[in-house]
Amino acid sequence: MKRRRLLALTVALLGGCSDLPGATGPRTPPTPSEPTAAPTRSLRVTDLGVEEADGGHLRVIATVRNGTDAQRTRTLRIRVRAGEARTERRRDVAVAGGAQRDIVFDFIDVQYGDFSGNGSLNSGWV
């Protein structure tokens, strides 16, 4: 009787001590006809710059690059936070294939001084 308990206890304790390899990878690997790499994005923002415009407001300059061979058009959104104020601008952007261009966003309601002290900005495609 004590042997059975000892055997059951030993199996329970050593059950997790196996060094057999566990399953890794996908259950069904991709077939050769399926793409495995992420597709190249058509438009991407490569640089965001800020400057003070003539009226003292914030100006954001987004450099957009087209990594494809054909012209692409998308809507770019720039969000700005300066203190408690949050605002955004959207603009349709068309870039020729293999080219890049600068897109200017004027935030007339945001003073450059307010933004430069504690502001933040981000970009995204809509």
User: pLDDT (tens digit, 9 = 90+) per residue, 24-69?
Assistant: 666 666 666 655 555 556 899 999 999 999 999 999 999 999 999 9
Of residues 123, 74, 78, 77, the one with CA closest to residue 95: 74
Q: For residue 28, is it left (φ>0), alpha (ψ between -120 and 50) or beta?
A: beta
Residue 86 near residue 80 (C-beta atoms within 8 A):
yes
The set of residues, in sequence order, having a beta carbon less than 8 Å from that of 87 and lying 6+ positions away, is: 79, 80, 107, 109, 110
Q: How far apart are the C-alpha atoms of 51 and 60, rounded to whole Å?
A: 7
For residue 45, the number of C-alpha atoms closer than 13 Å in the C-beta half-sphere is 19
The per-residue pLDDT for range 2-28, each reduced to its tens digit, is 667 766 766 666 666 556 666 666 666
Read off the pLDDT band of 117 (50, 70, 90).
confident
Residue 79 near residue 121 (C-beta atoms within 8 A):
yes
Query: Tokens 């057999």 sit at which residue?
Result: 20
Q: What is the pLDDT of residue 27?
A: 67
Q: What is the pLDDT of residue 90?
A: 97
